[in-house]
Amino acid sequence: MDQAETNVSRDTANAGHDECRAAYGAWITTSEGLERLGAEWQELLHEVAGGSDASSFDSICKRWRQQTGAELAIIAVRNTAGRLVGLAPFYVSCSLRDGVRRLSFLAETGAHHLKILIDARFEDAVIQEIARMLAHHRHEWDCIDLSLPGLMPLIDYVNAMASPANVPAAEPAAVIR
């Protein structure tokens, strides 16, 4: 991944529609960018899940350090006031067998609803922004491997954004399961 957005400011994808958006995402690809989220991550986790250990900042950092040869791909979503309202901790790994770049959850937990942290007051906006960010960074992954019940709204948004009308013809279609 050659273009790292290490801060959590507004992403410029589809900037022409900013006046209609309630949330803005950042695609974080560096350990430094991840580290800057620590306190806000814990605050959001406490609001969403009462501070679950499985999705804690420390657990995610530990899991990230265990990944070898992978690329960090965390989507941090902020509301218009700049408050962190959503986190989608992903990583991209490349298969040695077939070279496929697979986007997966960094949070491996039995509590499926804790893999993505979303402030319930911003649920629709956060899901739309995560989907927008995944579509915008489509060139950085070949398929998504997200086994999580209830993700159909996110997958529907990504599919819509990756439709032939929105993706240049030279890019292959996304495989989303």
Asked whether residue 72 is assigned to any structural domain, the reply reads yes
pLDDT tens digits along 73-125: 999 999 999 999 999 999 999 988 999 999 988 866 454 445 788 999 998 89
Structurally, how many domains does the chain consist of?
1
Q: What is the pLDDT of residue 49?
A: 76
- 81 close to 29: Cβ distance less than 8 angstroms: no
Residue 3 CA to residue 140 CA, distance in Å, equals 10
Q: Which residues have a Cβ under 8 Å from the Cβ of 21 and sit 6 or more positions away?
A: 80, 125, 129
Residue 10 lies in a domain: no
Res 71: pLDDT: 93
Amino acid 151: pLDDT: 56
pLDDT (average), residues 33-53:
86
Whether 34 maps to a domain, the answer reads yes
CATH number, domain at 112?
3.40.630.30
106/73 Cα distance (integer angstroms): 9
**Is 67 among the domain residues?**
yes
* Angle, CA 168 vertex, CA 166 and CA 171 arms, to 5°: 115
- DSSP-based three-state secondary structure for 88: strand
Q: How far apart are CA 163 and CA 88, in angstroms?
A: 22
**pLDDT value at 172 more than 80:** no
Which pTM does this prediction carry? 0.73
